[in-house]
């Protein structure tokens, strides 16, 4: 398969200007300036009839086209087993396309133009002949230009290798680059993850594989490095000397509606904690990279992951939501889902305490909390700083110092924001202190629509930027942390603590935090 960085050889020759008069008896040959061959981009969405493709990938591609980020020559192909023609695909895609809030004047024209670039080919995922037919259609649309081809695998992981084998052998670019975006999950444990990587590398080089974790494309996650490394006020504080604990919180206010069968095979630890939260932790805690080059950043992330202390069973609390009635409405429990076994022990909630054994973070608890069917939807990073030594205003604060500690909150979603909690004097006579926020609310400061994470990651893959994609050794280090824990939970059949649908989660999560001298910051907010 063609690899990135393929050079197109263009013959060079002497250049003679047409202004010069030819001398009698001499023959001159006129040459035009050598130019690079024209390229085209072909994007194939494998699994085009699925929900992810329909709701996320095609709308993200249209947004890139609408904003002018796709090249002049591009085509989009959908590939799936579903029988469909070009017009039916275009109709399906058109139902989920939207334009930016601030640029609606030519929306319909742009949609029509984009849909005219979208085509469909029906085939089996394991058929080289079907991919050979796709290749013929791609060549027809590419029109003799140098083709760059991007395949997005929006399919279950058990057919990744079949698709990669067929695409590599029969539908890869011969002159340009070929890249493949792979969606999580990347295995269920260390062994299956290594086997998947080994199988993919039979047909692809590492730099052709783009393992996507869409949370790394979130605006506030990408801003994390900017906040830390370009603001002198934060970098000196970013260590055990000033930070008491760090919390990574990801909660959803819905259950597994519609995907209980899939979820039961993986559970919340594999679905959220082992990838989304651990990747954000690595970005947060890494040392300053040599540069912003993808390999330099990923090298530092791997160092962090390899420094995380191995899990103990007492470092984690698991839960599962149960049915609950509230306000006259009944909410089903996890095992009420007909696709979930009645005796399932799969956790829908997990809270964990991690420690990074290096000089910067020695002794600082990193707490993760994630769950479904909780009381609110949120994703945030909370940095709680140490108490002020010998605080002069202790008499005005009282003895509950946790309620007055400085805290930096990075709210990833919803309502993206960065705010710093400080103590401030309430105006008036006397000395009364109040906890206030220095607040950067994105929708107030930046009155533009924030791009979806898939837009950023698709654009990075097209441009060959790997900074926000996961390298194979990162994946190995992440699974090395969680595989022994998952094995112990499943082999010992550890029963999850039940919690009502719409609650704050299992009580055990509060005990876990208290064990390390920490209060969950999101719950403190509720009572202030």
Annotated catalytic residues are 276
Give the Cα separation of 201 and 217 in Å (integer): 25
Tokens in use for 498? 């039940």
* Residue 56 CB-half CA count within 13 A: 17
Which residues does residue 409 pair with via DSSP β-bridges, in sequence order? 382, 419
Give the Cα separation of 194 and 186 in Å (integer): 9
Give the Cα separation of 503 and 506 in Å (integer): 8
Q: In terms of Cα–Cα distance, which of 373, 370, 281, 294 is closest to 332?
A: 373
Give the Cα separation of 500 and 332 in Å (integer): 10
Question: Rounded to 5 degrees, what are φ and ψ at 492?
Answer: -90, 0
Give the Cα separation of 358 and 362 in Å (integer): 5
CB 513 within 8 Å of CB 367: yes
Give the Cα separation of 306 and 324 in Å (integer): 41
| DSSP 8-state secondary structure symbol assigned to residue 118 | E
Give the Cα separation of 345 and 354 in Å (integer): 23
Look at residue 491 and give its three-state secondary structure: helix
Q: Which residue has the tokens 């149960």?
A: 322
Look at residue 377 and give its three-state secondary structure: coil
Give the Cα separation of 432 and 63 in Å (integer): 50
Tokens in use for 475? 């994946």
């Amino acid at each position: 398969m063609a690899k990135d960085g393929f050079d197109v050889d263009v013959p060079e020759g002497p250049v003679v200007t047409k202004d010069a008069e030819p001398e009698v008896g001499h023959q001159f040959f006129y040459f035009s300036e050598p130019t690079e061959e024209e390229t085209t981009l072909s994007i194939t969405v494998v699994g085009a009839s699925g929900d992810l493709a329909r709701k996320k990938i095609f709308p993200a591609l249209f947004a890139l086209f609408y904003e002018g980020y796709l090249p002049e020559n591009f085509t989009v192909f959908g590939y799936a087993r579903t029988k469909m023609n070009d017009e039916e695909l275009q109709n399906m895609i058109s139902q989920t396309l939207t334009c930016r809030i601030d640029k609606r004047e030519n929306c319909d024209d742009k949609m029509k133009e984009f849909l005219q670039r979208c085509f469909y080919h029906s085939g089996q995922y394991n058929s080289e002949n079907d991919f050979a037919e796709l290749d013929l259609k791609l060549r027809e649309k590419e029109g003799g230009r140098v083709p760059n081809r991007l395949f997005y695998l929006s399919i279950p992981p058990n057919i990744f290798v079949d698709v990669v084998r067929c695409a590599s052998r029969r539908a890869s670019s011969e002159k340009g680059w070929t890249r493949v975006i792979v969606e999580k999950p990347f295995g269920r444990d260390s062994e299956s993850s290594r086997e998947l990587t080994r199988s993919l590398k039979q047909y692809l080089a590492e730099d052709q594989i783009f393992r996507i974790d869409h949370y790394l494309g979130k605006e506030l996650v990408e801003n994390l490095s900017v906040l830390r490394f370009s603001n002198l006020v934060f970098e000196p504080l970013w260590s055990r000397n000033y930070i008491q604990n760090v919390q990574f919180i990801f909660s959803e206010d819905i259950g597994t509606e519609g995907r209980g069968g899939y979820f039961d095979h993986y559970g919340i630890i594999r679905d959220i904690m082992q990838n989304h939260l651990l990747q954000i932790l690595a970005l947060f805690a890494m040392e300053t990279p040599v540069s912003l080059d993808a390999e330099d950043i990923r090298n530092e992330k791997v160092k962090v992951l390899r420094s995380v202390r191995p899990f103990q069973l007492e470092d984690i609390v698991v839960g599962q939501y149960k049915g609950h009635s509230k306000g006259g409405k009944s909410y089903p429990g996890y095992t009420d889902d007909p696709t979930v076994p009645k005796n399932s022990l799969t956790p829908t909630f997990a809270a964990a305490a991690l420690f990074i054994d290096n000089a910067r973070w020695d002794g600082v608890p990193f707490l993760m909390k994630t769950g479904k069917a909780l009381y609110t939807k949120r994703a945030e990073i909370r940095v709680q700083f140490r108490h002020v030594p010998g605080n002069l205003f202790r008499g005005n604060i009282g003895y509950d110092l946790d309620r007055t500690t400085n805290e930096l909150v990075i709210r990833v979603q919803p309502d993206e924001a960065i705010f710093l909690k400080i103590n401030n004097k309430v105006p008036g006579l006397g000395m009364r202190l109040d906890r206030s926020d220095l607040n950067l609310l994105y929708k107030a400061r930046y009155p533009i629509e924030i791009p979806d994470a898939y837009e950023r990651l698709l654009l990075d893959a097209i441009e060959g930027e790997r900074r926000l994609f996961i390298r194979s050794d990162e994946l190995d280090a992440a699974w090395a942390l969680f595989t022994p824990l998952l094995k112990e939970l499943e082999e010992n059949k550890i029963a999850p603590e039940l919690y009502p649908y719409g609650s704050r989660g299992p009580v055990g999560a509060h005990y876990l935090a208290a064990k390390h001298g920490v209060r969950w910051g999101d719950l403190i907010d509720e009572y202030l």
